[in-house]
Amino acid sequence: MNTDYNLYKIFLYLYEEKSISKTASKLYVSQPAISYSLKELENQLGYTLFYRNSKGIEPTMEAVELYGYISTAFHILNDAEEHIKNLNQLNIGCIRVGIPATIGNYYLIPILSKFHSEYPGVHFEIISKPSLELIEMLETRKIDFVIDVFPFNSSKNVSKLSLGKLSNCFVYSKKKHKDWKISSLEDLGKYPLIFPNTLSASRVKLEEFFEHKNIKVTSSFEASSEIMLEMVREGMGIGYFPKEILEKQMDSEDYEILSFEDLPVMDIQCNYLSEFLTAASHKFIDMLQIKE
């Protein structure tokens, strides 16, 4: 665009007001300044844009053609400005959060409820995938946040917000397996085990734990946490869960919770790329910190 934005703005006012004096009044400039700007625009475009008459000015055919384009462009600019203002005022926007379903039920839902009540115009997308996939989505900006149990390893400059800790345990159905006797970690290998998916952070830490203890165990099933929970309910084996989440979702009278010493304690972290945060994203972080 080679022509000054202000020249087109003056042109729009002249076209709509059909008067140099009214345009000068609305733009708070002198009439000679308006006339000079019109002449400058006409020189740059190579066309006469208005004819003077007894009532003021009338647009030429070239001005009618030009107005269609310029008015559309200004409407787009005005819409863009209004959109940005709404983003900053949290009237609109989208926040994309990657989080495992179990942690989401335990940690995220109360925050989402509060956020939506205060800023109902902001849309949320909740994505539940294994940890490594969520990390990749964050790095490629397909999501704005990853809330998960970590360590979190990334090649990007990721900002981290600690949200709390979760202790882990094993659990099985007492109703289905009254005869199971488990008093040590080694006893786990006698029964079918249901472990988190290979790509999850909790699975990585669990395997490191058994390797450190020099105990070899093999899982019979691998599943996401929500499916794993149903498998335990059906008596299909011994599952591995964060204890705090488990206690909220299972009746302790029906299930045996095994809390062995030194089982990994997991940090819940919110991870994000700070340089790409929107106004809504900043407010979301504020709420996470309040919960903490």
pLDDT (tens, 9 = 90+) of the chain, 292 residues, equals 556 888 999 999 999 999 999 999 989 999 999 999 999 999 999 999 999 888 889 999 999 999 989 988 888 887 777 667 766 667 777 889 998 777 777 778 888 889 889 888 888 999 988 777 888 888 888 889 999 876 556 666 788 888 888 888 999 998 899 899 999 999 999 999 999 888 777 888 899 999 999 999 899 999 887 788 889 989 999 999 888 777 777 666 788 889 888 888 888 889 998 887 888 888 899 888 865 4
Q: 102, 166, 98, 157: which is closest to 132 by C-alpha?
A: 98
Domain count, the chain: 3
Q: What is the DSSP letter of 264?
A: P
Q: Identify the three-state secondary structure at position 276.
A: helix
Distance, CA of 63 to CA of 72 (rounded, Å):
14
Residue 41 sits in the same domain as residue 124: no
CATH number at residue 129: 3.40.190.10
Supply the range of the domain harboring residue 75. Answer: 5-85
Residue 169 sits in the same domain as residue 102: no
Residue 20 sits in the same domain as residue 148: no
Whether pTM exceeds 0.75: no
Residue 100 sits in the same domain as residue 190: no
Contact 109, 244 (CB under 8 A): no
Residue 134 sits in the same domain as residue 272: yes
Residue 78 sits in the same domain as residue 100: no
Residue 155 sits in the same domain as residue 70: no
Residue 142 sits in the same domain as residue 173: no
Residue 154 sits in the same domain as residue 184: no
Distance, CA of 281 to CA of 93 (rounded, Å):
9
Alpha-carbon separation of residue 51 from 11, 39, 57, 186, 273 (angstroms):
13, 12, 5, 96, 56
Residue 140 sits in the same domain as residue 173: no
Residue 29 sits in the same domain as residue 68: yes
Residue 138 sits in the same domain as residue 274: yes
H helices of 182-238, where?
Answer: 201-213, 225-233
